């Protein structure tokens, strides 16, 4: 878990849902990971005040209105006396803050809080301005509520995770301050000069009814997956080159025969990465004994492209969610307060599962390329396991085991969570999305893909070294040089784990992509 935040500019939230710049995916990453400040634009106060007047008017009538003067869930028909409504909202948060298990990562919680604040700012929830401002103040102070792994079914919002955030805003429960120190919420808020919230009608419900947790994790995953798919193309190019494969299959005219968008982009990357490679040129022509490369080399654009298209679809769903005000009941622009089902996480849950499938398949293909490097019957003249002295040395034999183990785990993580549903709240909430669970396993899948690609990059770079005196192309050579700054070249056996972790960090930080792009320009 990260313990520090570095402030990176300011993100301003507005009230207009139709604005294309209401909140961008990049804004979410900046606030969640980089500590960007959050401000509310002037139009937010007007929008929030208007919806609050609507709620106050309904609260003053003798009629039951869900979330304002009634209980919740299966208790929605229970009328609550005005004298007990503050207690009603406070009790809602305390009872729903029922998470269990390990702490959720800081970046996820910050994304979740920002996305809830984004909905509050639209004036569709009926909260007071000070309630929305408190969430901005918590984010800007670097105060992060402790949220637990388990508790959300992805329907009626990410109830337990969001409740733990609301609890912290009330000055209850535990938080981590900007240094990562675990503290009581009341003490952390006092040190930051933040007054704890005393919730009034509708506010407790408004703070916990949303897809914010699963959406936050989707946006963070998409940010990482876009970089990893470019890394996957780089890893594949390293393998095609060092395994004496052909680049002819990536030709634009061949790819255009199947006009899949992602496929075309991946193939264009591979052409750019292999452009001018002396190794590829060394066996190009009639003397090349290879008729066709294996699928894991030849079909790279088809698989990596399909993953890109899946990510593009997921991004379109995320964009729609970013333009949403998810709450129940919701205050409409004409002043009605209406129950709805917009909190259901199915749209987000589905694409989270789709991305886990794509991550597993891209990693599976990468692991197969890694394995080809190590097999003397398939690696075209390289030593067994790329060992310095095969027999005495084992080379990268067990690095492939590690990749294989991760790929096996990724296949298990690819089993969809969103096809499951378990009824809750005395059968009132009888169909749920499990979107939070889909998001949690996708985060693990993204980490696994990162590691599998790192192992391929490390392995292919050793193969390139062993092809000397033949030289790689400019782009792959730049990647090789960057890896060699962190990991030594071929030689007698040494601790492989340290080298894997070093290359994992190069992949995760984007430095592998940066190295290639110094020669190719921006990859697609």
How far is 246 from 300, CA to CA, in rounded Å?
A: 12
Q: Pairing between strand 337-338 and 10-13?
A: unpaired
How far is 292 from 71, CA to CA, in rounded Å?
A: 67
How far is 186 from 196, CA to CA, in rounded Å?
A: 7
Locate tokens 């593009």: which residue?
Answer: 312
How far is 218 from 207, CA to CA, in rounded Å?
A: 20
Structural Rg of the chain based on CA atoms: 26
Locate tokens 């390293």: which residue?
Answer: 238
Q: Is 45 helix (H, G, I), strand (E, B) or coil?
A: helix
CB 448 within 8 A of CB 410: yes
CB-based contacts of 83, cutoff 8 Å, min separation 6: none
Query: Cα dist. 520→333, 356, 473, 484 in Å?
Result: 50, 29, 11, 20
CB 241 within 8 A of CB 277: yes
**Residues paired with residue 330 on neighbouring β-strands, in sequence order:** 338
CB 355 within 8 A of CB 418: no
Indicate if 295 belongs to the active site: no
Long-range contacts formed by 258-261: CB under 8 A, 24+ apart: 258/302, 260/302, 260/305, 260/306, 260/309, 261/305, 261/308, 261/309, 261/312
Name the phi and psi angles at 188, rounded to 5.
-65, -40
The DSSP call for residue 477 is H
Cis peptide before 135 (omega within 30 of 0): no
Give the DSSP H/E element, type plus range, for residue 224. helix 212-242
Q: Which of 66, 135, 295, 401 is catalytic?
A: 66
CB 135 within 8 A of CB 39: no
CB 451 within 8 A of CB 232: no
Tokens representing 207 are 């703070």
Locate tokens 């301005």: which residue?
Answer: 129
How far is 26 from 29, CA to CA, in rounded Å?
A: 5
CB 458 within 8 A of CB 500: yes
How far is 139 from 37, CA to CA, in rounded Å?
A: 7
Alpha helices in 375-432 (DSSP H): 397-413
How far is 181 from 188, CA to CA, in rounded Å?
A: 10
Name the phi and psi angles at 231, rounded to 5.
-65, -40
Enzyme catalytic residues: 66
């Amino acid at each position: 878990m990260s313990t520090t935040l570095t402030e990176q500019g300011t993100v301003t939230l507005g009230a207009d849902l139709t604005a294309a710049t209401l909140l961008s995916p990049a804004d979410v990453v900046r606030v969640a990971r980089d500590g960007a400040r959050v401000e509310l634009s002037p139009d937010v106060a007007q929008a929030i005040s208007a919806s609050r007047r609507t709620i106050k008017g309904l609260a003053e009538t003798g009629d039951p209105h869900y979330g304002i003067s009634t209980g919740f869930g299966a208790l929605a028909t229970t009328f609550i006396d005005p004298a007990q409504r503050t207690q009603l909202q406070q009790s809602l948060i305390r009872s729903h803050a029922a998470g269990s298990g390990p702490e959720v990562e800081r970046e996820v919680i910050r994304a979740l809080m920002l996305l809830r604040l984004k909905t509050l700012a639209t004036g569709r929830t009926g909260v007071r301005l000070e309630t929305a401002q408190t969430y901005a103040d918590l984010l800007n102070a670097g105060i992060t509520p402790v949220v637990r792994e388990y508790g959300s079914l992805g329907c009626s919002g990410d109830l337990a995770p969001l409740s733990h955030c609301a609890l912290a805003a009330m000055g209850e429960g535990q938080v981590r301050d900007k240094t990562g120190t675990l503290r009581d919420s009341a003490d952390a808020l006092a040190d930051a000069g933040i007054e704890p919230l005393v919730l009034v009608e509708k506010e407790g419900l408004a703070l916990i009814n949303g897809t914010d947790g699963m959406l936050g994790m989707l946006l963070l995953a998409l940010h990482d997956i876009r970089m990893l798919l470019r890394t996957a193309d780089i890893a594949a190019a390293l393998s095609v080159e060092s395994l004496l494969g052909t680049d002819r299959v990536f030709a634009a005219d061949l790819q255009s025969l199947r006009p899949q968008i992602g496929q075309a982009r991946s193939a264009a990357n591979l052409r750019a990465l292999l452009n001018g490679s002396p190794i590829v040129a060394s066996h190009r022509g009639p003397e090349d004994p290879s008729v066709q490369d294996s699928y894991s080399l030849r079909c790279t654009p088809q698989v990596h492209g399909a993953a890109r298209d899946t990510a593009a679809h997921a991004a379109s769903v995320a964009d729609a969610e970013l333009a949403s005000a998810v709450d129940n009941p919701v205050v409409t622009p004409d002043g009605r307060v209406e129950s709805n089902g917009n909190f259901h996480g199915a749209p987000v849950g589905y694409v989270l599962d789709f991305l886990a499938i794509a991550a597993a398949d891209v990693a599976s293909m990468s692991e197969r390329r890694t394995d080809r490097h190590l097999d003397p019957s398939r690696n075209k003249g390289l030593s067994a396991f790329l060992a310095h002295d095969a027999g005495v040395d084992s080379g990268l034999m067990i690095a492939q085991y590690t990749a294989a183990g991760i790929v096996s785990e990724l296949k298990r993580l690819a089993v969809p969570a969103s096809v499951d549903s378990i009824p809750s709240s005395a059968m009132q909430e009888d169909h749920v999305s499990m979107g939070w669970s889909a998001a949690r396993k996708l985060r693990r899948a993204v980490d696994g893909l990162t590691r599998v690609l790192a192992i391929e990059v490390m392995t292919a770079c050793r193969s390139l070294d062993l092809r000397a005196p033949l030289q790689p192309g400019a782009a792959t050579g730049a990647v090789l040089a960057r890896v060699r700054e962190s990991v030594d070249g071929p030689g007698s056996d040494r601790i492989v784990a340290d080298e894997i972790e070093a290359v994992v960090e190069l992949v995760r930080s984007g430095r592998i992509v940066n190295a290639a792009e110094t020669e190719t320009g921006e990859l697609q």
